[in-house]
Structure 1
Amino acid sequence: MEKLSNIGLQKEDSRKVADKLNELLANYHLYYQNLRGFHWNIKGVYFFQLHDKYEELYDVALTRIDAIAERILTIGQQPLHTFSDYLRVSSIKEAANLSDGKETVAATHQNLSTLLDLEREILKLAAETGDEGTVSLISEDIHENEKTLWMLNAFLS
């Protein structure tokens, strides 16, 4: 049995990375759906600011979801693709019935913190296995998510 994938990575290493990427994919789907709900249901004094910001954030999340799934395929594995899988695997939970600005920003902050923790785990694993493609994908995402988290912190302080 061939130990290297068609892109030259160890198959077993790629399976481990893909498992963590699938966990990230599931969490990103819940993060995305929460942002959609916040966008639709936001009320109050922060409506105009947050309505637009949530749309911006969910558009970015959707792009990242696609990039993560494509990376899983690139390293020879299968991305999760059902909501039942996402709900089973995700640490992020559905945020139902939130419409207050501070509550929705706090929930977004918590969700983004969860994504960053997982991305840092993936970054370490990918670096240890020599998977530079995943390192690059995740490094860029960490940078952008840290900046967004900083902005959310500023809003909440």
Structure 2
Amino acid sequence: MTNFIGLDKEKSQVLAEKLNELLADYSIFYQNIRGYHWNITGDKFFELHDKFQEMYEDLFVKIDEVAERIKTLGHTPNHQFTDYLKLSKVKESTEVSDGVKDVKDTLESLKIIISLQREILDLSDDANDEGTNALMSDYISEQEKLVWMYTAYIK
């Protein structure tokens, strides 16, 4: 049985659940990055303040795209932070003013997110879901480059 966009309903359900996990990870990550942006101090303030702003603006767009993809699959995106805190493997940051630690935390969060996106990519490929597939592929490419850049920054 298929949904309105021609995808298997059961596979779409599994994809929507995984996308809700990604939505949770992105939402917690977004708040962490906002905290880094607001609270960064020290000699790297200007460069990191700007980089964190670029990142949270990008995450804001991705959060919306993921939620809309869940809707496109015929399901409901979670919207409560209590749900995000239960689902997210990305943890809330408590130290947000140390630039090097913030970059290391960003790298750890990206590792979690990229891994989940690869899992979703496999599921979307199996479901013949090109829309989700393209989204995950684009996100992974962008974030792998960020990992390279942030890794170079802390060396």
1:58 partnered with 2:56? yes
Structure 2 counterpart of 1:93, one-letter code: K
Distance 1:51 1:131 in 2: 37
What's the CA shift for 1:97? Answer: 2.8
Q: CA deviation at 1:99?
A: 0.7
Normalised TM-score (structure 1): 0.97
Cα deviation for residue 98 of structure 1 reads 2.3
For residues 69-148 of structure 1, the aligned pairs below 5 Å read 69-148=67-146
Alpha-carbon distance between aligned partners in 2 of 1:61 and 1:98, rounded to the nearest angstrom: 18
Q: Which runs of 4 or more aligned residues in structure 1 lie more than 3 Å from their structure 2 counterparts after TM superposition?
A: none
- Kindly indicate whether residue 36 of structure 2 is the aligned counterpart of residue 38 of structure 1: yes
TM-score (norm 2): 0.98
SS in 2 for 1:95: coil
Aligned residues: 155
- Unaligned runs of 5+ residues in structure 2 are none
Tell me the SS of whatever aligns to 1:80. Answer: coil
Amino acid at match of 2:144: E
- Provide the aligned C-alpha RMSD in A: 0.6
Q: Which amino acid aligns with 2:31?
A: Q
Q: Which runs of 5+ in 1 are unaligned?
A: none
How far apart in 2 are the matches of 1:105 and 1:44? 14
* Aligned-pair identity (%): 48
Correspondence for 1:153:
151
